[in-house]
Amino acid sequence: MQISQDPIVWLSAFVTLSILSFVFWNDSPFYNYVQSAYLGVAAGVTVVVGWSNIKNQVITPLMNGNYSILIPVFLGLLLLVRYIPGLNWVARYPVAVLVAGGAGLGLANTVQAQFVSQIKAGLLPLNSFDNILMFVGLLAVIAFFFLTGRTTHVMEKLKLGWVTRLGRIVLMVAFGASFGTTVMGRCSILIGRLQFLLTDFLGL
């Protein structure tokens, strides 16, 4: 065992242990201090990176004579007007431009990306066990969501209620897989910090 001599590693170890202390002692002064420090550092980094972005995106083009950049700058400044009482309605214009631009950009490809391609991928040739399982699961889940209310009553009368129940089971399996991988993700984060403490800090 060779404990690190690097003050940065010691600081990182202190921060890690302070955050982990929440698990055993809930709100400890160490936890609260580190939490606030993290927020402060993150805000500081964001300001620095933001400034560098303004420099590259606004100041340099302006110095090179690209005055069209003043239009988005003007719209951006209008966003800050919302803090001026009586004039805050003006900020709705840049927000409208942002929302309209975002919606236009997103919607243009959404139908193809999230509907058409996924529907096409669902229409599988039924030539393997995997494909049959996926196709039956897909139909059952669709039935679970659509055959509700009066339709469900009709389905029960036709002795087809098992389709919606199968859909519920398929959904539960999917949620189970999501939960399993969520646990895996959380474990990975903890293992990452333990690796740091054991190797970088303690030198084991």
Which phi and psi angles does 85 have, rounded to 5°? Answer: -60, 135
Which residue from 5, 7, 23, 71 is in contact with other proteins, where contact means CB under 8 A?
Answer: 23
Nearer to other proteins, 29 or 203 (CB): 203
Long-range residue pairs from 174-178, CB within 8 A, at least 24 positions apart, any chain: none
Contact between residue 176 and residue 153 where contact means Cβ atoms under 8 Å apart: no
Q: Is 184 in the site for other proteins (CB under 8 A)?
A: yes
Q: Is 42 in the site for other proteins (CB under 8 A)?
A: yes
Distances (CA, A) of 126 to 81, 134, 140, 142, 163: 60, 9, 16, 18, 19
Kindly state the number of chain residues that form the binding site for other proteins, as judged by CB under 8 A: 47
Q: Is 103 in the site for other proteins (CB under 8 A)?
A: no
Nearer to other proteins, 122 or 153 (CB): 122
Q: Is 128 in the site for other proteins (CB under 8 A)?
A: no
- From the number of C-beta atoms within 10 Å of its C-beta (0-12, 13-18, 19+), residue 143 rates as buried
Q: Is 32 in the site for other proteins (CB under 8 A)?
A: no
Q: Is 36 in the site for other proteins (CB under 8 A)?
A: no
Nearer to other proteins, 148 or 195 (CB): 195
Q: Is 95 in the site for other proteins (CB under 8 A)?
A: no
